[in-house]
């Protein structure tokens, strides 16, 4: 995270004053350090190059999608993982090469399948037996696919972002035989070229143990059923640091442990090493982004709590309400270390509309100050809504001491443009 106070005591990102940005572009606004995004992409590339294995890295678009971000991803030789026609449309609008796009989703519509085929995506990540049947019927030309399997591994993370356990809407079960049924159906298809296996055990994963355990399960299963693959897609889920209690995924060490495990299992089961694919999203953009708010009402309840209300909330910051996610906030205007614990509250009409409880802010915080909530680069703008008819925020990239707008703030006119009058 490149957020720090300058010599004047003003909080900056990428050496650009966040106070100036807030005053110039308004709030709420999400600001990204472009160089930090690029650095994360390059760290993953270098880690895989060290392994000597054939690899592919696809950015998970659901973390944050925009035309300018997709242009940046292509510059950094990243592929894309998309899960809807909207994400695919945005990628194509950015000029992204469709042959480097993978189409995901547990319930792809017929329209999405046809759109992805016509667009020329590299491959589908198939999630159900029904999807195989529908692609066989809809495909106007041969397509490539990998099959998402459910390995029965429970990642150590919030239950709502676990995806590899037995009871999950994602993937086909190895334990219960539906994964093997899916492989056989793909091998028999004359429309689908079966390329390999995909799994994803969850999000905000701090270490490699769960992935290594899953690699062992998958290789053993592949060998048992004599399944040959060209691609092994490990998914994503690599963690970031939201608060001091968290740690960022150790990319270099973690990828080495994972690639070593793949080499060991390939040797153990006498199998060729497939191309290794991963899908980082949060770990690419999460720590690179901060959200700027302006302080409004400050309400002190003696001996109970102090509420500091800001001009956004769950319309641009839903993760606290969904997952009880924890964040760190800093005062933008001055570097004041005399702090106390407060609850930072949003302005929407929900008791659960909070940025967080027991968050430290300076006692001097007053109406009109700006605050920055850190590590909001992933699953904030992409999960934003118009609840309470709130406007979606603007998004800026900072690079070389300058800020540029990459998504304009939604206007009142845009808010009702689809209403029938």
Q: What is the pLDDT, as a whole number, of residue 206? A: 87
Taking the C-alpha atoms of residue 287 and residue 40, their distance in angstroms, rounded to an integer, is 10
**What is the set of active-site residues?**
349
Kindly report, residue by residue over 206-247, the tens digit of the pLDDT.
899 999 999 999 999 999 999 999 999 999 999 999 999 999
Give the tens place of pLDDT for each residue, 14-35: 999 999 999 999 999 999 999 9
46 occurs within a structural domain: no
pLDDT tens column, 68-115 = 999 999 999 999 999 999 999 999 999 999 999 999 999 999 999 999
The arithmetic mean of pLDDT across residues 106-135, rounded, is 97
> What's the rounded Cα separation, in Å, for the pair 196 and 146?
5
Asked which of 245, 262, 285 is the last residue of a domain, the reply is: 285
- For residue 38, being part of any structural domain is answered with no
* Cα distance between residue 121 and residue 93, in whole Å: 14
Q: What are the two backbone dihedrals, phi and then psi, of residue 192, each rounded to the nearest 5 degrees?
A: -120, 125
State whether 369 and 338 are in the same domain.
Answer: yes
Residue 20 lies in domain? 3-33+288-415
Mean pLDDT value of segment 130-142: 96
Q: For residue 44, is it within any domain? A: no
343: domain CATH number is: 2.40.37.10
Residue 235 sits in the same domain as residue 316: no
Residue 402 belongs to a domain: yes
Structural domain total, the chain: 2
Confidence of residue 153 (pLDDT cuts 50, 70, 90): confident
Last-in-domain residue among 234, 259, 285: 285
Among 263, 285, 307, give the residue marking a domain's end: 285
The model's pTM: 0.94
Q: What is the CATH number of the domain that holds 92?
A: 3.20.20.10
Q: What is the C-alpha to C-alpha distance for residues 291 and 319, in angstroms, rounded to an integer?
A: 13
Mean pLDDT to the nearest integer, 393-412: 97
The answer to the question of residue 222 being in a domain is yes
Q: What is the helix (H) or strand (E) element at residue 119, kind and residue range?
A: helix 110-119
Same domain? 184 vs 311:
no
Going from the C-alpha of 53 to that of each of 120, 232, 233, 254, 281, the distances in angstroms are 26, 12, 13, 15, 21
Tell me, yes or no, whether 133 and 279 share the same domain: yes
The reply to whether omega before 41 is within 30° of 0 (cis) is no
Cross-strand pairs, 267: none
Is the pLDDT at 156 greater than 60, yes or no? no
Nearest to 372 by CA among 330, 342, 337, 338: 330
Domain shared by 98 and 232, yes or no: yes
260-290 pLDDT tens trace:
999 999 999 999 999 999 999 999 999 999 9
d(CA 14, CA 397): 10
pLDDT digits (tens, 9 = 90+) for 372-381: 999 999 999 9
């Amino acid at each position: 995270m490149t957020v720090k106070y300058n010599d004047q005591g003003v909080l900056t990102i990428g050496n650009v004053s966040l106070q100036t940005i807030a005053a110039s572009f308004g709030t709420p606004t999400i600001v990204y350090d472009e160089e930090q995004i690029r650095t994360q992409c390059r760290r993953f590339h270098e880690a895989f190059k060290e392994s000597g294995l054939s690899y592919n890295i696809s950015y998970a678009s659901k973390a944050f999608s925009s035309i300018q971000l997709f242009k940046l991803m292509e510059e950094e030789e990243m592929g894309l993982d998309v899960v809807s026609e909207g994400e695919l449309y945005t990628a194509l609008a950015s000029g992204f090469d469709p042959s480097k796009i993978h189409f995901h989703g547990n319930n792809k519509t017929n329209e999405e399948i046809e759109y992805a085929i016509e667009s020329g995506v590299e491959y589908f990540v198939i999630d159900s037996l029904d999807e195989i049947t529908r692609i066989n019927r809809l495909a106007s030309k041969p397509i490539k696919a990998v099959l998402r399997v459910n390995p029965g591994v429970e990642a150590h993370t919030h239950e709502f972002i676990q995806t590899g356990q037995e009871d999950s809407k994602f993937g086909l079960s190895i334990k219960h035989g539906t994964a093997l049924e899916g492989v056989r159906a793909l091998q028999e298809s004359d429309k689908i070229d079966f390329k390999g296996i995909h799994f994803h055990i969850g999000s905000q994963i701090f270490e490699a143990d769960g992935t290594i355990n899953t690699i062992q399960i998958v290789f053993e299963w592949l060998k048992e059923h004599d399944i040959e693959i060209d691609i092994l897609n490990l998914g994503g889920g690599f963690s970031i640091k939201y608060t001091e209690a968290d740690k960022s995924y150790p990319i270099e060490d973690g990828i080495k442990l994972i690639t070593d495990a793949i080499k060991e299992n390939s040797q153990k089961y006498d199998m060729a090493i497939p191309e290794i694919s991963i899908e980082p999203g949060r770990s690419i953009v999460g720590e690179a982004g901060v959200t700027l708010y302006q302080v409004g009402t400050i309400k002190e309840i003696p001996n109970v709590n102090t509420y500091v209300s800001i001009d956004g909330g769950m319309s641009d910051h839903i993760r606290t309400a969904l997952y009880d996610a924890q964040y760190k906030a800093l005062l933008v205007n001055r570097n004041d270390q005399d702090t106390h614990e407060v609850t930072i509250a949003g302005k929407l009409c929900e008791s659960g509309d909070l940025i967080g409880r027991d968050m430290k802010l300076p006692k001097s915080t007053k109406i009109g100050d700006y605050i920055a909530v850190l590590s909001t680069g992933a699953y904030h703008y992409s999960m934003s809504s118009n609840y309470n008819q709130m406007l979606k925020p603007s998004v800026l990239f900072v690079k070389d001491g300058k800020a540029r707008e990459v998504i304009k703030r939604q206007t009142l006119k845009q808010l009702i443009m689809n209403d029938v009058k």
